[in-house]
Structure 1
Amino acid sequence: MSTFPSLTSGAAFRRASPSRTLSSALGGASLLVLSAALPAFAEASEGVVALDEINVSGEARRLAPGPNLTVSTGAGSRLDLTPLETPASVDVVSGDVVRDRGQSSIAEAVTQNAAGFSFIGTPGNGFGAYSSRGFTGVNSVTTLYDGVRLYPGNGTVTFPFDTWTVDRIEVLRGPASVLYGEGAIGGAINIIPKKPLTDERRNEARAVVGTDGQVGLAAGSAGPINEKFAYSFDVAASRGDGWMDRGDYKNLAFSGALNWRPTDELSVTLSHDGGHNQPSRYFGTPLKGAGNVEKDWIGENYNVRDGVIRFNDNITQLKAEWTPNETVTLRATAYSVVSNRFWRNAESYRWSASASPLFPDGQINRSDYIAIKQEQEQIGARADATVRSELFGMANEATIGFDVNRFRFSRLNNGGYGDPAVNPPLPPKGFDPGEYGSTSSYGREYRATTTQYSLSFDDRLKLTDQLSLVAGLRYDHPEIDYRNLRTGLKANPTLDSISWRVGAVYEPVKNLAFYAQYSEAADPVNSLLSLTPAQSDFKLSKGRQVEAGVKQSLWDDRFEWTLSAFYIEKKDLLAPRPGALAGTPAEQIGKQSSRGVEASVGVELGHGWRVDANGTILDARYDEFFGAGGLSYKGNTPNAVPEKLANVWATWRFAENWKAQAGLQYVGRTYTSASNDYKRPAYALVNAGLQWKPTGYATLDARVKNLTDKTYAYAGGDYQWYFGAPRTAELALHLKF
């Protein structure tokens, strides 16, 4: 049975900035074709272990917590191949498994399940930044929502953030420019929302209470309306006091879809998804000297009392898929993405050893008093045609398509304010945080309009029953019209790029695949939506990757494992030229690379046990890079890149209706700047949970995150770090009816 795309519908959130433009779209055709269900139960010598269930488009199908190698996915190609058929590293993460493990944020779901990803999200990048395979940030690791690429405005991606609406998360590790265009040399994350159901109904609700004032409510429903229409709708809201001083937060996420199937060959879906997010107004903690952590400072909030962080996002899509016969599938999607963001904070803090009667332990100097508004709108469409045929007697499947987008991005701010007479230095503890203090109006700083189109081609040729060739080609043509409304400076760069990939998959026996691939990609020196006149003459940074590996699914998919090795090189990085005077503009003369090994395994052990694990070992380095004064950083590790990562999850169904589980996440040490003078220590987080199902429709979960109460920092520079939450606990009741 074909699957049905999703849609969402939602309401405004109290105190959130309303969207200035209604998200709307027209178009026709596209749909993820999902196949291959994993077995319902894995039987062992003395027990039966149930796999977590996901319902998609009316079909009861199941995804295991592990790699899911035999499930069709759009992450690795446009041909809906399974990970076993794809010459790349692909993870499929079940939304049900994510919620079962208590992973309430997209960041937790990605970094605690997919191999090789670490989180470096901060308020400035919208909590949407990751590190993967030695490359960091929203310009190198792309986020998509239901196949729509979320272009970063001014280095910011703010949606999605909640996992309640998620059906599954598809992750591609390594360069993804051949699929999604420039800006994906480290990888791509595609979050797919829940879909309408045609043959059954889904009704569920969740209530959560926890430490630090945490309260959450969620509900969802899906099912057929009649023979031609089906729907889905999900909404989740949460709020809490936060673990730091003045750390209160609240958010609302919603997702809805209406599917119309007038004939067996045609499916049309209208969807709307969105979120209103007001996270904790926390910009990190200053260090007592470079690299020196004072633990009793960590719970302090050095932001101003009236600080604000607020993100509003809405995505509307109209999709259609037409399959007139077995050899042709036509898909098209039209979409509108609207984001409105607002910050008003003192964002930077640095400790000074200057002592006085008022500051016997030194003082905290605050800077970067800035208020910013971002207004971003993306209207676009994509369409493709897939043809299945024979070429010289060999089975061939090809997809040709195009994308077209128009972006409008505007930034307003009243930055530059920081009068020490109004906001003086603070003692490290026991301080009055003060007010923002500026009454100046918001001035529109710049406006950028980007028009982009692309052409793409994907092909798989089965040379034999065991050997396939998979290739892809993409041409991107973005034209940018940047205007600084304060200085009058303008820029109109055009940044064409060609990305391509060729790979082979050899399957000597069923469900054992060896693969190799070569790919080329491109990254911008800054977000395309916010390239300044000074950056308009720069070309895209170029990247290339060589990867080889093996994947296998055994025992009716109860045991899956993968192993891959890769080398990635990126050149044309911005760096000062050796011997250049201070203040001289950087040039595209830098180069960095990474080489590494990744492995993952998911296995049903019997006696009620299941173990899922993955690990990454990297060697990431600057091959040619310079700092201030022409100092060479050759051989240094790029900042924010951990070179060792691992995840382990163990689940034990020790009695009827009872389950215990525990997870370990390890993130290796990370340098805080390109000079490698200081580093954040490695950390290991332990999460645990106990689940009881008193009835067939109710589940009660008790969970503890950061069980060992580890103090750890996940992001930050040489003098200011972002710390993660200490030990927290929650109790969740999930009902299905």
Structure 2
Amino acid sequence: MKTLHPLSLSLLALLIGQAWADEAPRAADAADAANTLPLVRVQGSKESATGPVPGFVARRAGSGLKSDIPLIETPQSIAVVTADQIEAQGATTLRQTVGYSAGVVSAYFDSRVDSISARGGNVAQYQDGLLRSYGTYNTARPDPFTLERVELVRGPASVLYGQGSLNGVLNLVSKRPQFESRRELQLQLGSHERKQLALDLTGPLSEQWAYRLVAIKRDSGTQVDHVKDDRLLLAPSLTWQPSAATSLTLQALYQRDKSGSLIGFFPWQGTRLPNGSQGQIPTSAFISEPGWDAYDSDQDSVGYLVNHRLNADWTLRQNLRHTKSAVDYRTIYTSFSTTARRPLFNADGRRVERDLVWQLNGGSMSLLDTQLEGHLRMGAWKHQLLLGLDAQKNDSTQRSFRGRAPAIDVYAPVYGNFTPPAASALAAQPTVDQRQLGLYLQDHIKFDERWVAVLGLRHDRAKTETQGRPEAKVDDKATSKRAGLLYLADGGFSPYLAYTESFLPLGGVDFYGKPYKPQVGEQWEAGLKWQPADKRVSATVALYDLRDTNRKTTDPSQPLNSLQIGEVRVRGLELESAGSLDSRRWGRWDWTLGYAYTDAKISRSNAGDQGQAVAGVARHNGSAWLTHHFSLGGRSGFSAGAGLRYLGASWSGTPLISTPAATLVDAMLAYEQDDWRLALNAVNLADKVQITQCLARGDCFYGQRRTLNATLSYRF
């Protein structure tokens, strides 16, 4: 993997050199002449998979096929959340950004990560087509203000993205430099003394150069006492476009976050269940130690996006990013009893025992994805070929300490009876090194302007090594496939059928020394898309059957062994619609609608749980958001929006407790005039105390209480 950087720099030098040479007078053949045509810009004339989109409806996406292809021609369920939708709904975290997408669930109100699940399990997170994080608690959370859009590819996606991605891929598309000047200064004040200043500047530096600078400075508290939500972020980028054939975008990120323990791992009693006369544990309860508790994350990254058209039919692309991150994680949380093996109150019903954890986590990621895309036509057949080679090298490090802290009264905590551990108590844990190399081929075929087929094949080699633990070594090879067929009918309808696969290396060996095979997922999906050409409206219906096989389960003949015969089967239905419509009589309306039915069951197991539901997966969830833009008193520029989010009840893994259903209300009021916009957003307007998840191990988690944010934007 040490050849990654020389290879990238060599390609970069080659492209720059060729583009420089193209500016000099020379004799050229027809293909070269096409590459040296003068650069002509037509602002706002065509939507792309990475640029701005007016309203809530995107027509194109780049994540499902790693090419800029219309959604109506993609045989797979894909949701796109645009920057306009993010702004209207006032999303301040990634989990809020996708909160109105059908079937998407974020069960934890957490300062450490934005965990997102769909179709019965967690989805892998990417940014600009490259893996966004690796390891545990060693990266910073993304900020929606830095994003142009978020794309969710539902279901297995290993053909394009490699290991993992069984339940889907969430790809964050960064804001990029534009050759049209746009500048925004934003001031935000809100609940828990939130104060944020944000800046987004973009525009041309010359005919060939454009820049973008996104900056955020935030000082804020949270709904949990003594826990901050501070952020300093700088995201500069620079685009060089010397001709219509070549573009190079350089990207960087500097992010510093300071937060703490939003989750206390509180017992069932006092959260989901009664706790005698003591009542419910306050959602603001902080049971760690002020001044010591922390979740402080530093993240720095640099990279580039290169696009070079070799001739009229072939284009070469390469994306590279190198990221370094470090997290200082200090927490004290409810202890899991050694006898009951779950969090419990002491005899007084008020105090809980506490465990202490201190981790210094580090991460390093080097990612490279090189693609060659070609357009071929043979009679009535059009082929859009994609050949790709991607590689990644990820390392994670940790120094840690575990101990005990004195018991604390969760209803009236008294702090200070605590001796913090010294830095010398931290013990180095084994370094984990992960590498992946994948070669993939995809053909997007269009026949007679009606039929669309997608065929894909990928071969991966994934290695993982843990320092000092040879038994944990993983060296897996896997081949993944996909196929899809879609028909472009009249009226903007397109029914489709698709098959996709994924794999996940497990590592280690069984009792007999035989390496475990990768966990393998496969999915059949049938659906219908509707997106008329003359209206910004879209709707999707998807039915799917997903199987996750080669899961470990107990071996009845050898208790120390595991058999790979376990299987989880997920069947579901998803309905989704979005729209942005203008009417002289009724004004402008923007909306999203979503509903998902998810039936996730353990279909094969030796652990006595065969036939049970998968813990934490709700059968039903739905959402609806509506924004109306209108005039008031003869003055235009007003808008009001409201949304409902429903998450159904779910099995916790034990009949002793369940996770209850919840319905939450969000709202927005805004006024926009000339260069100014003032908006008030409310999350959980009714201030419902939500239990987002209860686990069989004995703890439950709270959701976000009512949060109000006022945002003043000046665009100039």
Normalising by the smaller structure, the TM-score range is: 0.7 to 0.9
Structure 1 385/436 Cα, relative in aligned 2: closer, same or farther at 3 Å?
farther
**Match status 1:180 vs 2:161:** yes
Deviation at 1:170, TM superposition (A): 1.2
Structure 1 261/610 Cα, relative in aligned 2: closer, same or farther at 3 Å?
closer
| Residue of 327, 339, 344 corresponding to 1:352 | 344
Structure 1 354/308 Cα, relative in aligned 2: closer, same or farther at 3 Å?
closer
Tell me what 1:409 maps to.
396
Equivalenced residue count is 659
Tell me what 1:258 maps to.
238
Letter matched to residue 505 of structure 1: L
Asked which structure has the greater RCO (Cα within 8 Å, sep 6+), the reply is 1
Tell me what 2:36 maps to.
none
Q: Distance in 2 between matches of 1:381 and 1:274?
A: 20
Structure 1 458/204 Cα, relative in aligned 2: closer, same or farther at 3 Å?
same
Tell me what 2:152 maps to.
171
**Match status 1:435 vs 2:418:** yes
Tell me what 1:234 maps to.
214
Partners of 1:250 and 1:279 within 8 A in 2: yes
**Match status 1:513 vs 2:494:** yes
Partners of 2:133 and 2:139 within 8 A in 1: no
Tell me what 2:711 maps to.
732
**Match status 1:111 vs 2:92:** no
Q: Distance in 2 between matches of 1:503 and 1:207?
A: 46
Structure 1 99/307 Cα, relative in aligned 2: closer, same or farther at 3 Å?
same
Letter matched to residue 88 of structure 2: D
Q: Structure 1 regions of 5+ residues with no counterpart?
A: 1-21, 31-36, 41-52
Q: Structure 2 regions of 5+ residues with no counterpart?
A: 16-41, 337-342
Q: Distance in 2 between matches of 1:511 and 1:384?
A: 30
Structure 1, 100-109 or 531-540: larger mean CA deviation: 531-540
Q: Distance in 2 between matches of 1:558 and 1:262?
A: 34
Q: Distance in 1 between matches of 2:257 and 2:176?
A: 23
Tell me what 2:38 maps to.
none
| Residue of 71, 96, 99 corresponding to 1:83 | 71
| Residue of 518, 522, 525 corresponding to 1:540 | 518
Task: Report % sequence identity.
Answer: 21
Partners of 2:474 and 2:505 within 8 A in 1: no
Q: Distance in 2 between matches of 1:536 and 1:81?
A: 44
Structure 1, 446-455 or 180-189: larger mean CA deviation: 446-455
Q: Distance in 1 between matches of 2:164 and 2:452?
A: 28
Letter matched to residue 268 of structure 1: L
| Residue of 591, 599, 602 corresponding to 1:619 | 599
Q: Distance in 2 between matches of 1:27 and 1:202?
A: 34
Q: Distance in 1 between matches of 2:655 and 2:534?
A: 47
Partners of 2:286 and 2:410 within 8 A in 1: no
Tell me what 1:19 maps to.
none
Structure 1 611/122 Cα, relative in aligned 2: closer, same or farther at 3 Å?
closer
Tell me what 2:372 maps to.
385
Partners of 2:330 and 2:358 within 8 A in 1: yes
Tell me what 1:309 maps to.
295
Q: Distance in 1 between matches of 2:443 and 2:55?
A: 28
Q: Distance in 2 between matches of 1:458 and 1:56?
A: 18
Deviation at 1:388, TM superposition (A): 0.7
Partners of 1:74 and 1:81 within 8 A in 2: yes
| Residue of 607, 612, 618 corresponding to 1:636 | 612
Tell me what 2:134 maps to.
152
Structure 1, 513-522 or 472-481: larger mean CA deviation: 472-481
Q: Distance in 2 between matches of 1:259 and 1:247?
A: 39
Letter matched to residue 263 of structure 1: S
Q: Distance in 1 between matches of 2:707 and 2:358?
A: 32
Q: Distance in 2 between matches of 1:713 and 1:394?
A: 54
Partners of 1:285 and 1:301 within 8 A in 2: no
Q: How does 1:55-134 map to 2 (within 5 A)?
A: 62-66=53-57, 68=58, 70-71=59-60, 73-112=61-100, 114-121=101-108, 126-134=112-120
Q: Distance in 1 between matches of 2:181 and 2:44?
A: 21
Q: Distance in 1 between matches of 2:575 and 2:360?
A: 42
Tell me what 1:207 maps to.
187
Letter matched to residue 371 of structure 2: D
Structure 1 331/510 Cα, relative in aligned 2: closer, same or farther at 3 Å?
farther
Q: Distance in 2 between matches of 1:464 and 1:690?
A: 48
Partners of 1:492 and 1:536 within 8 A in 2: no
Structure 1 605/597 Cα, relative in aligned 2: closer, same or farther at 3 Å?
farther
Q: Kindly provide the CA deviation profile for residues 589-623 of structure 1, in whole angstroms up to 9, marking residues without a partner as x.
A: 32101101101112438412333211101111111
Q: Distance in 1 between matches of 2:535 and 2:44?
A: 7
Q: Distance in 1 between matches of 2:393 and 2:146?
A: 27
Letter matched to residue 691 of structure 1: A
Q: Kindly provide the CA deviation profile for residues 247-304 of structure 1, in whole angstroms up to 9, marking residues without a partner as x.
A: 2221223322111112221111211124222234222351353941643433211223
Structure 1, 283-292 or 387-396: larger mean CA deviation: 283-292
Structure 1, 216-225 or 379-388: larger mean CA deviation: 379-388
| Residue of 566, 569, 584 corresponding to 1:590 | 566
Deviation at 1:662, TM superposition (A): 0.6
Tell me what 1:300 maps to.
285
Q: Kindly provide the CA deviation profile for residues 664-711 of structure 1, in whole angstroms up to 9, marking residues without a partner as x.
A: 1111112333x4542111111111111012x31000111221111111
Q: Secondary structure in 1 aligned to 2:169?
A: strand
Q: Distance in 1 between matches of 2:590 and 2:465?
A: 54
Q: Secondary structure in 2 aligned to 1:120?
A: coil
TM-score by length of 1: 0.84
Q: Secondary structure in 2 aligned to 1:164?
A: helix
Structure 1 308/662 Cα, relative in aligned 2: closer, same or farther at 3 Å?
same
Letter matched to residue 352 of structure 2: I
